[in-house]
Chain A
Amino acid sequence: MKPFTYEKASSPAQAATAVARERGAKFIAGGTNLLDLMKIEVEAPPHLVDINGLGLDAIAPTDEGGLRVGALVRNTDLAADARIRRDYGLLTRALVAGASGQLRNKATTAGNLLQRTRCPYFYDTHQACNKRLPGSGCAALGGFSRSHAIVGVSNACIAVHPSDMAVAMRALDAAVETVKPDGTTRRIPIADFYKLPGSTPHVENVLAAAELITAVTLPKPVGGTHVYHKVRDRASYAFALVSVAAVLQPDGSGRVALGGVAPMPWRVEAAEANLPKGAKAVTSSLLAGARTTPQNAMKVALVERTLGAVIADAGA
Chain B
Amino acid sequence: MDITDQLNISRRGFLKLTAVSATVAATPPLVARAAVPDVARAPVTQQVAMEVNGKPATLSLDTRTTLLDALREHMHLTGTKKGCDHGQCGACTVLVDGRRINSCLTLAVMHEGSKVTTIEGLGTPDALHPLQAAFIKHDGYQCGYCTPGQICSAVGVLDEIRRDVPSHVTADIGAKATFSTAELRERMSGNICRCGAYSNIVEAITEVQEGRA
Contact = CB atoms under 8 A, between A and B. Distances in A.
B87 A36 contact: yes
Interface string B81-99: 0000111001001000001
Interface in B28-50: 28-30, 33-38, 41-44, 46
14 contacts: A4-B41, A5-B63, A30-B106, A76-B165, A85-B166, A102-B101, A102-B190, A128-B9, A133-B6, A133-B34, A138-B24, A141-B19, A142-B17, A155-B22
A62 B37 CA distance: 42
B26 to A, nearest CB: 7
A288 B110 CA distance: 46
A130 B27 contact: yes
B33 A100 contact: no
A35 B100 CA distance: 18
B128 interface: no
B13 A136 contact: yes
Contacts of B156: 101-102, 105
A14 interface: no
A23, A52, A105, A154: residue with the most chain B Cβ atoms closer than 10 Å: A105
Contact of A133 (B9, B160, B174): B9
A44 B34 CA distance: 11
B58 interface: no
Interface in A104-137: 105-106, 125-128, 130, 133-137
B9 A127 contact: yes
Nearest to B92: A102
A6 B46 contact: yes
A101 B85 contact: no
Interface string B109-140: 11010000000000000000000000000000
B10 A46 contact: no
A133 B105 contact: no
A45 B63 CA distance: 12
A79 B185 CA distance: 19
Interface in A56-107: 76, 79-80, 85-86, 89, 92-93, 96-97, 99-103, 105-106
A253 B105 CA distance: 42
A106 B24 contact: no
A93 B166 CA distance: 9
A251 B36 CA distance: 53
B163 A135 contact: no
B107 interface: yes
A97 B173 CA distance: 13
A142 B9 contact: no
Contacts of B17: 128, 137-139, 141-142
B106 A35 contact: yes
Contacts of B24: 130, 135-138, 155-156
B76 interface: no
Given A31-B107, A130-B24, 16 more contacts: A3-B64, A4-B63, A6-B63, A6-B109, A24-B36, A36-B86, A92-B166, A100-B191, A101-B157, A102-B100, A106-B102, A127-B13, A130-B27, A136-B9, A138-B24, A236-B189
A27 B181 CA distance: 39
Nearest to B190: A100
Interface in A131-168: 133-139, 141-143, 154-156
A135 B10 contact: yes
A199 interface: yes
Interface range on chain B (Cβ under 8 Å from partner): 35 or more
B35 A80 contact: no
A41 B41 CA distance: 14
Interface string B146-176: 0000000100110010011111101001100
Contacts of B101: 102, 105-106
A135 B64 contact: no
B185 to A, nearest CB: 8
B44 A135 contact: no
Contact of B173 (A89, A102, A103, A236): A89
Contacts of A85: 166, 173-174
A133 B106 contact: no
Contacts of B21: 137
Contacts of A93: 168, 173
Given A134-B27, A134-B30, A101 B187 contact: yes
B35 A44 contact: yes
A155 B38 CA distance: 28
A2 interface: yes
B87 A103 contact: yes
Nearest to A79: B166
